Amino acid sequence: MNTNPTALDAYPARTVAIHAKLARLQQLADDHFGHDPDAINWGHVGDLGRVDAALDDLLAIFGSKDE
């Protein structure tokens, strides 16, 4: 009996994990990523630039185009 999972078995688990992380990212975004809106500095802006670039890279994996 083969007990190794197939790609089809593993795919839904990965999808659930990604959805959970996307939901957490949305929560963080809704809360200004934990930053006090009145104390935003250029370091915070730089961090968001890195996040933005990383999201572009992730979208490119799936062939998504900028809107």
11 domain-assigned = yes
Residue 23 resides in a domain: yes
pLDDT in tens, 5-36: 899 999 999 999 999 999 999 999 999 999 99
Residue 66 lies in a domain: no
- The answer, yes or no, to whether residue 67 has pLDDT greater than 60, is no
| 67 assigned to some structural domain | no
1 is a domain residue: no
Q: Give the mean pLDDT of 26-47.
A: 95
Domain that holds residue 17: 7-61
What is the chain's mean pLDDT, rounded? Answer: 93
Please check whether residue 35 lies inside any domain of the structure.
yes
Between 31 and 1, residue with greater pLDDT: 31
Number of domains in the chain: 1
Q: How many CB atoms lie within 10 A of CB 51?
A: 14
Q: Is 31 contained in some domain?
A: yes
